[in-house]
């Protein structure tokens, strides 16, 4: 994968080190999750047992900030326990432009269909897909656009199993008008340009959230969002 657009960090829009409970006091959790902090990073895992609760054991943790378009999202990722799946939602808001937390929207509790086929629009990137046997056998990062369950782009996933990982892994995601670009440790993973027709209008700003599928356990730190500045294109 070779990226055809090149971006630099612009002005800082948000920075959260994710080192203590105070750092996520205003974040919104949908579903049941267990949070803790070790070595100055946020540890996230399921609270409910997947063997007893199935899809209800998964959850989403939202940053409360409404972000504009043209952003560069970065964070440090530490896979700890699998099987499981890690995903990031971005450009998330109601299908009619409502704030994601508007009381006019249906209540959400972490079940995936509520996010891809409910009353919100979002882009969502699954970047650690080690939940099912077929995902572990041929690992990819998948970018989807919703409403709907549209697979927009795929890229090879360079992340190893948790037992072999040497984290942190530096994740960088750019959303710039119709362009979505993703790198891990500066390695280009995928790039996609929305035509605004195939899967609906191009999404703009909105909320950002992290999702895990149980029994995944992972850690996060140094979450930050900058304006994305387009330097040049091939």
DSSP for 70-136 reads: SEEEEEEEEEEE-SEEEEEEEEEEETTS--TT-TTSPP--S-THHHHSSSEEEEEEEEEEESSHHHH
pLDDT tops 90 at residue 224: yes
Reading phi first (left if > 0) and then psi (alpha if -120 to 50, else beta), residue 91 is in left
Query: What's the whole-number average pLDDT of the chain?
Result: 96
Confidence category of residue 2, pLDDT binned at 50, 70, 90: confident
Tokens of 69: 């378009």
Instruction: Note the pLDDT of residue 25.
Output: 98
Residue 226 has φ and ψ, to the nearest 5°, of: -120, 160
Instruction: Note the pLDDT of residue 17.
Output: 98
Residue 54 has φ and ψ, to the nearest 5°, of: 55, -130
* Residue pointed to by tokens 């046997």: 133
Per-residue pLDDT of 50-94, as tens digits, reads 999 998 999 999 999 999 999 999 999 999 999 999 999 999 999
Domain 5-102+110-233 has CATH 2.60.120.200: yes
If you compute the radius of gyration of the chain from its CA atoms, what whole number of angstroms results? 17
How far apart CA 6 and CA 200 sit, in angstroms, is 25
Instruction: Note the pLDDT of residue 8.
Output: 97
Find residue 129's DSSP bridge partners.
85
Instruction: Note the pLDDT of residue 50.
Output: 93
Instruction: Note the pLDDT of residue 234.
Output: 74
pLDDT tops 90 at residue 146: yes
Q: Are 100 and 94 in contact (CB under 8 A)?
A: yes
pTM over 0.95: yes
How far apart CA 132 and CA 223 sit, in angstroms, is 28
Per-residue pLDDT of 153-187, as tens digits, reads 999 999 999 999 999 999 999 999 999 999 999 99
Domain boundaries, the chain: 5-102+110-233
What mean pLDDT comes out for the span 26-43?
98
């Amino acid at each position: 994968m070779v990226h055809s657009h090149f971006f630099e960090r612009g002005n800082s829009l948000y920075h959260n080190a994710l080192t203590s409970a105070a750092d996520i006091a205003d974040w919104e959790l949908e579903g049941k999750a267990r949070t803790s902090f070790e070595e100055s990073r946020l540890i996230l895992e399921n609270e409910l047992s997947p063997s007893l609760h199935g899809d209800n054991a998964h959850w989403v943790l939202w940053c409360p900030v409404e972000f504009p378009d043209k952003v560069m999202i970065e964070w440090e990722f530490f896979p700890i326990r699998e099987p499981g799946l890690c995903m990031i939602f971005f450009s998330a808001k109601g299908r009619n432009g409502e704030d994601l937390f508007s009381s006019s929207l249906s209540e959400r509790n972490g079940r995936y269909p509520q996010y891809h086929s409910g009353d919100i629009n979002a882009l969502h990137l699954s970047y650690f897909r080690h939940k099912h046997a077929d995902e572990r056998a041929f690992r990819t990062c998948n970018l989807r656009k919703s409403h709907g369950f549209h697979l927009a782009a795929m890229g090879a996933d360079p992340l190893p199993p948790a037992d072999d990982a040497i984290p942190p892994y530096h994740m960088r995601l750019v959303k710039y008008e119709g362009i979505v670009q993703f790198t891990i440790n500066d390695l280009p993973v995928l790039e996609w340009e929305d035509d605004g027709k195939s899967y609906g209008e191009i999404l703009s700003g909105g909320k950002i959230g992290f999702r895990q599928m149980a029994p995944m356990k992972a850690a996060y730190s140094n979450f930050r969002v900058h304006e994305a500045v387009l330097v040049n294109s091939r």
